[in-house]
Amino acid sequence: MGQIAPVLTMSAITLVAVCLLFIPTRFKFGTDLVRFYWCGFWYLLALIVLTSGSIEVLKLAGISVEPYDIAVLGGLMTAYIFFVMFAWFRLVGAAILFGMKKAVKTS
């Protein structure tokens, strides 16, 4: 096992970074749909940071995680990109649909 000081330092940095990423989820604005995607965006980002930090802590502790670290982080980042793109398309679609309904109503 590696030295304890670097492991504890990296663990503390990871936990502080993840906790800071949860702060924006406390903001209340928009509709439920917008809030869902806003919170999901920050939760997935926090999960990526937590996983990355955990992998580094395990490496500092002398535990080999080589076969899994790239696969796990790659999968999480791919899921993050798909979530953000899906959310963007869904919100833009909802805005266009709302605009069309409003235009038809006023005609």
CA 88, chain centre distance (Å)? 15
- Going by C-beta distance under 8 Å and a sequence separation of 6 or more, which residues neighbour residue 39? 25
Total domain count, the chain: 1
Range in 11-20, 26-35, 48-57, 88-97 with the lowest mean pLDDT = 26-35
- The model's pTM is 0.82
* Residue 12: other Cβ atoms inside 10 A: 12
Which DSSP category does 62 fall into?
T
CA distances from 38 to 6, 21, 23 (A): 34, 12, 12
Q: How many CB atoms lie under 10 A from the CB of residue 21?
A: 19
Domain of residue 30: give its range: 4-106
* In the predicted structure, residue 11 carries a pLDDT above the cut 90: yes
